[in-house]
Amino acid sequence: MAGSPPIIYLNNAATTWPKPPEVLEAVRQSLALPVFGSGRTTGSQGEDYVTLAREALASLLAADPPEHVVFTQNATDSLNLLIQGFLAGCEAGCRVITTALDHNSVLRPLHELERQRRIRLTVLPFEDGAVSPESVEVAVTPDTRLMVTAHGSNVLGSVQDVSGIGEVLHDHGVFFIVDGAQTAGHIPVDLRALPVDAYVFTGHKGLFGIPGTGGFYLRDPESVAPVRYGGTGTDSFSLFQPPGMPERFEAGTHNHPGLAALAAGANYIASIGVEAIAEKAERQTAFLIRELKKEPNVTVYNEHPSLPIISFNIQGMENDDVGFILARAYGVVARTGLHCAPLVHRAIDGGIGSVRLSLSWFTTDEECRTAARAVQGIARNANSSIGSS
C-alpha cells in the first residue's frame, strides 16, 4: 500500500519471517521434480527430503538415533499423538501433571481427557516464569504417570529447568514429554543429555521451515502406542502398522516441500551456530526491554527472558489497540491477546492479554530501535491522554 511504513516483523514466536533464501530455494526445487521416496516410486530424479530432514534435525538436536525423529503436521499434532499414545497404556484415572505456563496445544488435550474422566490433572503454578523441580517433586503421587510441559514460554520467554524436572520425574518412573516449539532453533538442545522421554518441535518457528511441518523425538518407541494407521511404503503385506521406527508413527504421504524447507532451515541454523543466534537474541531483547522500561506506564511481564520474547501492556490502553497502532502507524507487526496460553495471562495480567514482540535471527538492530521508539511514542501519548482527562 502506498505510503505504508516498511514491515518490521516481530511476530516470530508465531511464525518466523522472512525465511532464509536456502529454505525458499529448497521448496522450489522440491516442487520442480517428481517426489522421491523409498518404497513409493521407481524414479530417482528427486531428493529424499524425508531422510535429509530427519538427519538434519537429529544432528541439530543431538537426537540419537535419527530414526527416532518422527515427522507430523506441527507441534500440536505431535503433542496429541504422544499424549494419546502414551495414555493408551495407562489405567483410567491416572494422574497427569502440567503447568500454568503451558500453551493450549498441551492444555486442551489434557483438559479434554480430564473431562472424559480418563485422567486426573494437576496444573502447577509458576513463579518467576518457571516451575521448580521441587514443586514437581511435591506434586508427584503414586498414581502419576505423565508430565507434559513447555520447554519455553511463548508469553514470558522463560525457559524451564527440564533437566532438573526430568531427573525428579524419572526417579518416580513418570514419563516426560517436553514441548520445544519455542526453543528448537533458539537455544542449544542436546537430547542425548536431557532426561526427557519425548521432545516436540515445530517447523515454522525457530527452525525457519514453512507451516505444516513438525515432529517429535521419542527415546523409547515402545512406550507410546501408535494412534494413526495407514500406508508407509514398507511391509505392505501386513495389515497392521509396522512396529519399526519411524514407520510406527508416520502413516501416509509426507509433506515433501515442508520437509525440504525443514532440512534447509536446520542446516542454515547449524551453519550459523545456535549459540550465536541465542547471543544476538539476548542482546537485542535486553535492549528492547531497557527502552520499554523507560516509560513508567509500560509493564513488561518478564524483564529477563531467556528467549527473544517480550510481553507488555501500556496502562490505560487495550493491548489490541496498541497492536493496531504499532502495525498501522509504524509498520511493526506484533501479536496481541492471550497467545493461546490463558493460564499464564490469568496469573500475570488478570486475563486481559498482552502485546508480544518476538525476534528472530533476521531482526536488525535498527528494527529494534524503531520498535522501541514506536512503543515509547504510544505510551507517552497514552500517558498524556490520561493526564489531561
CA–CA dist 222, 224 (Å, integer): 6
Cβ contacts of 310 within 8 Å, gap of 6 or more: 157, 285, 288, 289, 292, 300, 302, 356, 357, 358
- pLDDT score, position 42: 44
- pLDDT score, position 223: 97
- Cell readout for 148 is 507434559
Residues of the chain with CATH 3.90.1150.10: 8-19+274-388
8 A C-beta contact, residue 160 and residue 135: no
* C-alpha of 353 from chain center: 19
Dihedrals phi, psi of 105, to nearest 5 degrees: -65, -20
Q: Is 97 helix (H, G, I), strand (E, B) or coil?
A: strand
Laid out side by side, the sheet with 144-150 consists of: 69-72, 214-218, 198-202, 175-179, 144-150, 94-99, 119-124
State the DSSP H helix or E strand holding residue 31, giving kind and residue range, or none if neither: helix 21-32
Tell me the pLDDT tens digit for each residue of 220-230: 999 999 999 99
Residues of the chain with CATH 3.40.640.10: 21-272
Dihedrals phi, psi of 96, to nearest 5 degrees: -125, 140
CB atoms within 10 A of CB 219: 18
Mean pLDDT for the chain?
95
First to last CA, the chain: 35
Cβ contacts of 123 within 8 Å, gap of 6 or more: 97, 98, 99, 100, 343
Q: What is the CATH number of domain 21-272?
A: 3.40.640.10
CA–CA dist 85, 16 (Å, integer): 30
Characterize the bridge pairing of strands 354-358 and 309-314: antiparallel
CA 135, 105, 22, 308 torsion-angle sign: negative
- pLDDT score, position 372: 98
Tell me the pLDDT tens digit for each residue of 153-199: 999 999 999 999 999 999 999 999 999 999 999 999 999 999 999 99
- From residue 292, how far is each of 285, 360, 379, 384 by CA, in Å? 11, 19, 9, 17
CB atoms within 10 A of CB 351: 12
- pLDDT score, position 35: 75
To the nearest 10°, the Cα dihedral for 4, 8, 10, 11? 50
CA–CA dist 19, 335 (Å, integer): 19
User: Locate cell 498501522: which residue?
Assistant: 328
Which residues of the chain register pLDDT less than 50? 1, 42, 389
CA–CA dist 258, 266 (Å, integer): 12
CA–CA dist 327, 34 (Å, integer): 41
To the nearest 10°, the Cα dihedral for 380, 310, 136, 249? 150
Closest CA to 16 of 205, 144, 168: 205
Which CATH fold topology does 8-19+274-388 show? Answer: Aspartate Aminotransferase, domain 1 (3.90.1150)
State the DSSP H helix or E strand holding residue 218, giving kind and residue range, or none if neither: strand 214-218
- pLDDT score, position 45: 59
CA 377, 378, 379, 384 torsion-angle sign: positive
